[in-house]
Copies of this chain bind each other. A is one copy, B any other.
Amino acid sequence: VTTAPVSRSARTRAREEITREIKAAARRQLVELGAGDLSLRAVARELGMASSAVYRYFATRDELLTALIVDAYDAIGEAAEQAESSVDRTAFLERWLATATAVRSWAVENRREYELIFGSPVPGYAAPQVTVDPAARIPLLLVGIVRDSLVGTVTGTGASRERARHAEPPEAVQADLAALGRILELDVPPALLAEMLMAWTALIGSISFELFGHLVGSVTDYDAYFRYQMTEVGSRLGLSR
């Protein structure tokens, strides 16, 4: 039995640093070429090391891809959390808008990484379990906002009690929603939970539509259109008005 060293050894520190450098180089490649053309050899070349050396850090190309995916989820989640946390806690709609806007800004600035996580899956690559938690950060933000807004309603802190009236979801959907509510420990009407799922879908759907070029010719002021759209979504969640 060996005891873990108190201070990381030179070897360990070097390992961490070089791992970071490999990921950084891979990210640069990703930006230029897209995920499909990401090449271990090119990464090694950029770092001035033998291509075989990369295998000391990532056992396979897919493992490197996975690391990039996890990083991307974390980065976009982090950006969203940062933005959301700086808004007055009782301004629910604004919290949602800050979240949505931050997500979109990150996506615009990090197109390829956004595509990596929200675009079409890389063929032949199956996302492993490790990506699940970081992927949940943004939806969990939304859960937090809605949860707070409901407490707000009860104590009268300002959330709208005139929530839009929705059709009751059909039974099959209710079952899914009930299970989801239990996982999230969120006790809300099924229609509202469904609305949250749709909000999350609308957020990503809208950003993808813009980035993938399907609004070319219809919209020119993407900022304004996006904000308007997300305001509509927010008000359907009963976050204001």
Identify which of residues 78-97 in chain A touch chain B, using a CB-to-CB cut-off of 8 Å. Answer: none
Type the 1/0 row for A32-43, where 1 means its CB is closer than 8 Å to any CB of B.
011011000000
Number of identical protomers = 2
Are A119 and B180 interface neighbours, CB within 8 A? no
Q: How far is the CB of A123 from chain B (nearest CB, A)?
A: 3
Q: How far is the CB of A26 from chain B (nearest CB, A)?
A: 15
Question: In the assembled complex, which residues on chain B have CB atoms less than 8 Å from the CB atom of A197?
Answer: 215, 218-219
Type the 1/0 row for A158-170, where 1 means its CB is closer than 8 Å to any CB of B.
0000000011011
> Bound state CA distance, A219 and B139, in angstroms?
14
Q: Does A209 contact B (CB under 8 A)?
A: yes
Question: In the assembled complex, which residues on chain B have CB atoms less than 8 Å from the CB atom of A13?
Answer: none
Q: Which of B34, B119, B123, B166 contacts A33 (CB 8 A)?
A: B123
Q: Which of B120, B223, B231 contacts A119 (CB 8 A)?
A: B120
Q: A120-B212, A205-B205, A212-B120 are in contact. Are A219 and B170 (CB under 8 A)?
A: no
Are B167 and A224 interface neighbours, CB within 8 A? no
Identify which of residues 209-232 in chain A touch chain B, using a CB-to-CB cut-off of 8 Å. Answer: 209, 212-215, 217-221, 223-225, 227-229, 231-232
Q: A167-B232, A206-B205 are in contact. Are A176 and B225 (CB under 8 A)?
A: yes
Question: What would be 19 A-B contacts, judged by CB atoms less than 8 Å apart?
Answer: A33-B124, A34-B122, A119-B120, A167-B232, A170-B227, A170-B228, A172-B221, A172-B223, A172-B225, A173-B219, A173-B221, A173-B225, A176-B220, A194-B225, A194-B229, A198-B229, A201-B202, A201-B209, A201-B214
Q: Which 9 A-B pairs have the closest CB atoms?
A: A205-B205, A119-B120, A34-B123, A36-B36, A172-B224, A115-B120, A172-B221, A201-B209, A173-B224
Q: Chain A: residues with CB nearer than 8 A to chain B?
A: 33-34, 36-37, 115, 118-124, 127, 132, 135, 166-167, 169-170, 172-173, 175-176, 180, 194, 197-198, 201-202, 204-206, 208-209, 212-215, 217-221, 223-225, 227-229, 231-232, 235, 241
